Structure 1
Amino acid sequence: MRSLRRAASAARPVPRRRIRSPWRAYRPLGRAYAREMRLVALALVGIALVSCLPQQGTSSPTPTARPSAARPRFELASYMYALQTKGKIRIAVLENAPPFAFREPNGTYSGFEADLGRELAKAIFGPLPNEDSVIEWVAVDRSTAVNALAGLPSPAADVSFASIIPTPASSSAVDLSDPYLLSGERILIAATNDEIKDIPDLDSQTVCVTQGTSVGDDVQMANEFAKTLTLDSYASCLGALRRSQVDAIVADEATCWQLMKEDPGTKLVGRYLTTEEHAIGVKKSAANDREGFLSFIDGWLAGAIRDGTWARLYGLDISPFSKETKTTPVP
């Protein structure tokens, strides 16, 4: 009997004891970790796929150029657009008239008017590493500056920065801009002279002028009590000033600048006795062949005065001669 019970007991399945895992309490943490691992794996797969895509270029140790401003856009019928299409602007300037314009020994042009011409080229073609690459310089003198624009069958220049003075003759031959410079006759005295400061101070003073000019008449018109001494040249006048034989010299401003360069012991004083405006010249429009050009130049010039470009160029080119600073063409 006992043996039968033992056999029956041995035949029964032994219930399995459930072993409690010590990691059961950490199961939620394991799920979060698994999710993070899946995200990391997906990110790595994404990086690998992107690296396999074709690249837009290869790296280079040389620096890339800065993006430049776009070329200005003009109406198709405008002369500015025609110049852009040609890729050149012909600018007439004086060859030997410092500080306005003069040719350097290497053939390049310098001076106030030449630099203004470069600024105009920039306004038409946009910023360039070298504005001279779109400029064809046309050498003129004051007697040929107008003809360079009005010549037939075709003008030699598109625009003239050659100290054109508005007169009935020049105004009838070409179109002229607003003034970009004001000049005229000035008073030059010894730097040690503190008595003469302006035109009224020329009373009873001796003023040197040169033969063959109207300067003597201009002095008398400005101050009838001034005395004049007429000599053959301004070199002679400068010598007379050094020897105190005269009290002042009156000449056009550019001549005074040259005398100041020759003798640093002199200075300019006072207002202009006479004034002359310098204008930019362009060919008169015929059948709209200069459409919008003059109004564009006037607008560009006004902007150059307003933003300080004009004053910067005056300080660069003229102030070393005049010893003066200006911010506008007309006081």
Structure 2
Amino acid sequence: MYALQTKGRIRVGVLDADAPFAATDASGAHAGFEVDLARELAKAIFGARPDPDAVIEWISVDRSTALSALTSAQADVVLARLAATTERAAVIDQTDPYFVTGERVLVQDPNDEINDLPDLDSKTVCVTAGTGVGADVEDANAYAKILTLDTYASCLDALRHSQVDAIAAAETTLWALRRDDAKTKIVGRPLTTERYAIGAKKNAGGDRIGFAAFLSDWLAGAIRDGTWARLYEKDITPLSGDRKTSPAQ
């Protein structure tokens, strides 16, 4: 903490093309849920200011370089849809989750027959080849019928024509399908769960002692005071169609 405040900036690793979480436009401006969370974190460390980006150095990462950006000290923190795992916890520090997601189910709207996973009994669920989602549907409901197609667009077309009853995919994928067809909705509990955590370089002593705890405490405060909900509504709700007050909701 002291080193960051003395240095006067925080280096934040984010993805470049992962809206609504993080994206960079042609001018180099950053936007998205993770970007806005990082700006709130900068305010907590350096104090409120008109332009939080003045104390942020944005570091471009992808899913393959997010960990190495921390272990090589290129970034102080990474917000890049990094799922918290025991394997990663051995390499980096991870906060409590700032976002919880997973595979979900999409149905036509209106549809009062399918509201949760047990309602998939004898229903046909479309999945795409090579994703493994079909096995997750079968684990959740052994009586569901699986139809595997090559693309999500094909699944959506099948849903529109009532050739299938539902589509199962990663929640973020279903957001994009909802954008393409507003007469759909996401229902029920997740088939699987991923918990995205802020990553920081492993605590090796010095002024890094307590930094991970500070990050989790700050995140808990942002959830408690409504900041998290405000950012969710700004960045996520336009695609997801829902509103949440906490990651666990």
In 1: Cα distance, 2:149 partner to 2:87 partner: 31
Q: What's the offset of the Cα at 1:296?
A: 0.7
Which aligned pairs between 1:67-78 and structure 2 lie closer than 5 A? none
In 1: Cα distance, 2:89 partner to 2:226 partner: 28
Tell me the SS of whatever aligns to 2:58: strand
In 2: Cα distance, 1:319 partner to 1:300 partner: 23
Q: Compare relative contact order (CA 8 Å, sep 6+) and give the higher one, 1 or 2.
A: 2
2:3/2:207 contact within 8 Å kept: no
Which has the larger Rg?
1
TM-score when normalising by structure 1: 0.74
Question: Are residues 1:134 and 2:55 paired?
Answer: yes
Residue matched to 2:240: 322
Which aligned pairs between 1:1-331 and structure 2 lie closer than 5 A? 80-151=1-72, 155-331=73-249
Matched residue type, 2:119: D
| RMSD of equivalent CA atoms | 1.0
Larger displacement relative to structure 2 (279-288 or 117-126): 279-288
Q: What CA deviation, in whole Å up to 9, does each residue of 1:226-264 have, x standing for no partner?
A: 000111121111111112111100011100001101111
Matched residue type, 2:116: D
In 1: Cα distance, 2:15 partner to 2:111 partner: 35
In 2: Cα distance, 1:255 partner to 1:141 partner: 18
Alignment gaps of 5+ in structure 1: 1-79
Q: What CA deviation, in whole Å up to 9, does each residue of 1:114-164 have, x standing for no partner?
A: 00000000000001110000100011112211111012xxx1100011111
Tell me the SS of whatever aligns to 1:328: coil
In 1: Cα distance, 2:12 partner to 2:188 partner: 34
Residue matched to 1:29: none
Tell me the SS of whatever aligns to 2:112: coil
Q: What's the offset of the Cα at 1:292?
A: 1.8
In 1: Cα distance, 2:234 partner to 2:32 partner: 9
Q: What's the offset of the Cα at 1:306?
A: 0.7
In 1: Cα distance, 2:28 partner to 2:43 partner: 21
In 2: Cα distance, 1:205 partner to 1:262 partner: 23
Q: What CA deviation, in whole Å up to 9, does each residue of 1:183-221 have, x standing for no partner?
A: 011110111322111111101000001111121011001
Tell me the SS of whatever aligns to 1:146: helix
